[in-house]
């Protein structure tokens, strides 16, 4: 049965603030509720701010200054980009969902801090629930009573979730080495997988899989069950021999035979990965960029690199797959990465797999039944012309087998910033390797022995990178996931509409390319996987990439955010990015440059600049095809774009004002 998506009409404030009444009524009602809550706490206490204070000159003066500054603020805010309009198809952002917006606004006055349950009223439990909801969407174990239940929590954004992934995975990969040292120091005898732990060399220990590292830690703990003194001595020895205690330099100095590890990720990596490597002292030289094929990781090249690493004894800390690249929305073949992980683990090269699904994580909702089961591909396909390709389907289905995932609620979760990102790991015990003991915030460690999952994570700050964090953000995500569960019939309707609109845009661009043949080369360099579409333009006969960029940039000048221009004067918004042909595989490079007429067939073709300008569209608005008013904004956009292109072709500027080099890539 086709789900009825008309509930979406109640889900946003709306481009015309159509749901103004609903929004205002709920907001006022629930803010008043907060006021009564304050008054009902010891109502007999006299109000510390006396009523006559309002007559003080200083009070009156303050209020008028406050009003003035707030008005100046709203004046500034009115220059914002109209993200709620179906005329906006630029960056990865849209009108936030009303449930999240309201929940966040009404929670803020309570000011909960989700660093620990002491500071957070009820919102920390909501954050733990959000982690479980996301785990369910991804296919991870999500029964908190299960020993291997997943764990997830919110971060300020995908960037910090990526930092955290690398932080946890590093701790876990190095843990078996520290365990071996601690076992030696404490003169213990531990047998693991049928062998004495002492007999393992550094290479073998580093190459234990994530699951084996967890199992090894549990084996040691079980062996010391009931002997508190022994356990304490062991934990102390473990602590003082971990990489987190010694630092990379001393740790590797002590383990001279172990080379520093690498992290493998596609060239399309978001720049947060470079920052993560710098931050953890791994050095971004050790972030090895894999070539791509159609902006998806080339897994043959990955396999070759793994093989080289294995033969040269270079440890691989993690392979990171990208589910929805920032520039093109393309999905790495996660299933292939998982297959390689399993195969290489057998061959003694064990690495973790993280998926950066900051953009594409919520696409998984489209693949879930309400029961939580994975939908068959044929069923998902029914709503689309092209989506999902077999590769896209397999990639999403394979999420359940990876070790950890980054998902951004502020992107395809349509949530307001604050609940920017989320880090989810397949097994909550992975967080043991980073747990902090902070007695002044948290409970007595002795109580932890029999802690439940929930009691443990109510001390959230012990397990995560960040400290104080907004409980209001957790409330926003929780209420959104409750009102729009993460399955195809509810939240999944949003990515469904946005992918349908993208398929429409794709078809229209192809038509435009045919109409403009002979005048302008209109070329989609990479087939889209989801709801992002990039397109490049070059006037026919032109072979200068600089000239092409200048042309495309002059067209883009009508579509970009320009604070100097009145908003109403702008028809549509898109975004842009730069493509670096020399970073592509040679066949792909010539395919694209050829289609754009920059080089002839079978020519190496040296360009006069190293990048080409590409128009980028992110389609998130559910009303891009307004059936009630019969306005097809996607089609209107395409005719607008076509007229801009024709106009630019007919009226080239006298002098070159801009060669297109000033327009950087997108930094979402
Ligand atoms: C957006 C994005 C990020 C960074 O997320 P922020 O929320 O902006 O910090 C990381 N990786 C990918 C693939 C992204 O699209």
* Cα–Cα nearest to 303, from 337, 262, 260: 337
Backbone φ and ψ for 302, nearest 5 degrees, come out as -60, -45
Over residues 157-171, the pLDDT tens digits come to: 999 999 999 999 999
Rounded Cα–Cα distance for residues 337 and 315 (Å): 17
Q: Whose CA is nearest to atom 3 of ligand 1?
A: 158
Q: Is 90 in the pocket of ligand 1 (CB under 6 A)?
A: no
Find out whether 499 and 529 touch, Cβ atoms under 8 Å: no
Q: Is 668 in the pocket of ligand 1 (CB under 6 A)?
A: yes
Over residues 107-153, the pLDDT tens digits come to: 999 999 999 887 777 899 999 999 999 999 999 999 999 999 999 99
Find out whether 265 and 155 touch, Cβ atoms under 8 Å: no
The 8-class DSSP code of residue 662 comes to T
Q: Whose CA is nearest to atom 8 of ligand 1?
A: 668
- Who contacts 564 (Cβ-Cβ below 8 Å, separation ≥6)? none
* Cα–Cα nearest to 639, from 539, 546, 512: 512
Out of 14-28, 242-256, 430-444, 602-616, the most confident range is: 14-28
Q: How many CB atoms lie within 10 A of CB 232?
A: 12
Residue 514: pLDDT over 50: yes
Over residues 83-112, the pLDDT tens digits come to: 999 999 999 899 999 999 999 999 999 999
Distance of CA 236 to the CA centre of its chain: 36
Cα–Cα distances in angstroms (integers) from residue 668 to residues 110, 342, 410, 534, 592, in the given order: 30, 32, 11, 16, 25
Domain 1-44+52-92+492-668 has CATH 2.60.40: no
Find out whether 292 and 266 touch, Cβ atoms under 8 Å: yes
State the average pLDDT over residues 593-618. Answer: 89
Greater confidence (228 vs 33) lies with 33
pLDDT for 334: 98
pLDDT band at 439 (very low <50, low <70, confident <90, very high): very low
- The ligand 1 atom at the shortest distance from the C-alpha of residue 160 is 9
- The ligand 1 atom at the shortest distance from the C-alpha of residue 410 is 7
Helices 228-240 & 158-185 angle (0-180, nearest 10): 120
Rounded Cα–Cα distance for residues 76 and 70 (Å): 10
- The ligand 1 atom at the shortest distance from the C-alpha of residue 323 is 13
Find out whether 465 and 167 touch, Cβ atoms under 8 Å: yes
Cα–Cα distances in angstroms (integers) from residue 312 to residues 148, 258, 503, in the given order: 34, 11, 45
Q: How far is the CA of 92 from the centre of ligand 1 (A)?
A: 10
Angle at 476 between CA 470 and CA 479, to 5 degrees: 140
Q: Is 359 in the pocket of ligand 1 (CB under 6 A)?
A: yes
Q: Is 273 in the pocket of ligand 1 (CB under 6 A)?
A: no
Rounded Cα–Cα distance for residues 644 and 666 (Å): 22
Domain boundaries, the chain: 1-44+52-92+492-668, 158-407
Q: Whose CA is nearest to atom 10 of ligand 1?
A: 158
What stretches of 316-403 adopt beta strand conformation (E)?
Answer: 316-322, 352-357
Over residues 41-71, the pLDDT tens digits come to: 999 999 999 999 999 999 999 999 999 999 9
Q: Is 358 in the pocket of ligand 1 (CB under 6 A)?
A: yes
Q: Is 258 in the pocket of ligand 1 (CB under 6 A)?
A: no
Find out whether 592 and 584 touch, Cβ atoms under 8 Å: yes
- Ligand 1 pocket test: pick from 395, 408, 529 the residue with the most ligand atoms within 8 Å of its Cβ: 408
Backbone φ and ψ for 326, nearest 5 degrees, come out as -65, -35
Q: Is 433 in the pocket of ligand 1 (CB under 6 A)?
A: no
Q: Is 157 in the pocket of ligand 1 (CB under 6 A)?
A: yes
Q: Note the helical H segments in 569-663.
A: 586-595, 633-650
Over residues 306-315, the pLDDT tens digits come to: 999 999 999 9
- Ligand 1 pocket test: pick from 90, 93, 155, 159 the residue with the most ligand atoms within 8 Å of its Cβ: 159
Rounded Cα–Cα distance for residues 554 and 645 (Å): 9
Angle at 634 between CA 631 and CA 639, to 5 degrees: 95
């Amino acid at each position: 049965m086709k789900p009825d998506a008309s509930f979406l009409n109640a889900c946003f404030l709306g481009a015309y603030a159509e749901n103004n009444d609903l929004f205002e009524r709920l907001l006022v009602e629930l803010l008043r509720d907060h006021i009564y809550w304050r008054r009902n706490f010891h109502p007999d206490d006299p109000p510390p701010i006396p009523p006559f204070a309002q007559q003080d000159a200083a009070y009156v003066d303050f209020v008028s200054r406050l009003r003035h500054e707030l008005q100046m603020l709203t004046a500034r805010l009115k220059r914002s980009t109209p993200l709620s309009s179906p005329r906006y198809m630029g960056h990865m952002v849209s009108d936030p969902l009303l449930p999240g917006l309201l929940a966040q606004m009404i929670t803020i006055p309570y000011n909960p801090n989700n660093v620990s349950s002491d500071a957070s009223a009820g919102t920390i439990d909501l954050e733990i629930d959000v982690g479980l909801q996301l785990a369910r969407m991804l296919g991870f174990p999500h029964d908190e009573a299960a020993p291997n239940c997943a764990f997830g929590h919110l971060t300020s954004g995908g960037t910090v979730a990526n930092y955290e992934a690398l932080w946890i995975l590093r701790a876990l990969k190095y843990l078996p080495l520290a365990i071996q040292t601690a076992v030696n120091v404490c003169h213990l005898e531990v047998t693991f997988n049928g062998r004495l732990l002492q007999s393992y060399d550094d290479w073998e220990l580093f190459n234990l899989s994530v699951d084996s590292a967890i199992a090894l830690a549990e084996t040691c703990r079980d062996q010391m069950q009931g002997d508190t003194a022994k356990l304490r001595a062991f934990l102390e020895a473990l602590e003082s021999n971990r990489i987190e205690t010694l630092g990379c330099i001393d740790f590797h100095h002590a383990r001279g035979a172990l080379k520093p590890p690498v992290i493998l990720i596609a060239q399309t990596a978001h720049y947060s990965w470079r920052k993560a490597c710098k931050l953890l002292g791994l050095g971004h030289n050790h972030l090895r960029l894999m070539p791509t094929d159609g902006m998806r990781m080339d897994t043959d090249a990955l396999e070759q690199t793994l093989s080289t690493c294995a033969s040269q004894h270079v440890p691989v800390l993690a392979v990171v797959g990208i589910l929805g690249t920032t520039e093109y929305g393309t999905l790495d073949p996660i299933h292939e990465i998982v297959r390689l992980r399993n195969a290489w683990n057998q061959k003694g090269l064990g690495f973790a797999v993280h998926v950066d699904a900051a953009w594409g994580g919520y696409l998984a909702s489209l693949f879930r039944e309400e029961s939580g089961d994975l939908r068959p591909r044929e069923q998902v396909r029914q709503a689309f012309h092209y989506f999902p390709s077999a590769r896209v389907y397999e990639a999403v289905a394979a999420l359940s087998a990876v070790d950890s995932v980054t998902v951004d609620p502020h992107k395809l979760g349509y949530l307001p910033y604050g609940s920017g990102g989320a880090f989810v790991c397949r097994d909550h015990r992975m967080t043991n390797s980073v747990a902090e003991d902070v007695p002044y915030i948290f409970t007595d460690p002795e109580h932890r022995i029999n802690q439940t999952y929930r009691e443990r994570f109510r001390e959230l700050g012990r397990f995560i990178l960040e400290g104080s964090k907004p409980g209001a953000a957790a409330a926003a995500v929780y209420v959104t996931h409750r009102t729009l569960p993460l399955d195809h019939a509810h939240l999944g309707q949003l990515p469904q509409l946005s992918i349908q609109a993208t398929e429409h845009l794709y078809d229209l661009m192809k038509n435009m390319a045919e109409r403009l043949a002979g005048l302008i080369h209109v070329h989609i360099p990479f087939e889209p996987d989801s709801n992002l579409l990039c397109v490049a333009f070059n006037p026919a006969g032109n072979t200068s990439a600089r000239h092409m960029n200048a042309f495309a940039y002059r067209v883009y000048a009508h579509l970009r955010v320009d604070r100097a221009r009145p908003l109403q004067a702008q028809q549509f918004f898109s975004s842009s990015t730069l493509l670096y042909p020399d970073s592509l595989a040679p066949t792909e490079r010539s395919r694209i440059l050829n289609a754009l007429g920059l080089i002839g067939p079978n020519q190496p073709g040296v360009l006069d600049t190293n990048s080409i300008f590409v128009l980028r569209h992110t389609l998130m608005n559910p009303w891009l095809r307004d059936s009630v008013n019969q306005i097809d904004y996607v089609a209107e956009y395409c005719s607008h774009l076509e007229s801009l292109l024709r106009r630019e072709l007919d009226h080239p500027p006298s002098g070159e004002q801009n060669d297109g080099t000033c327009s950087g890539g997108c930094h979402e």
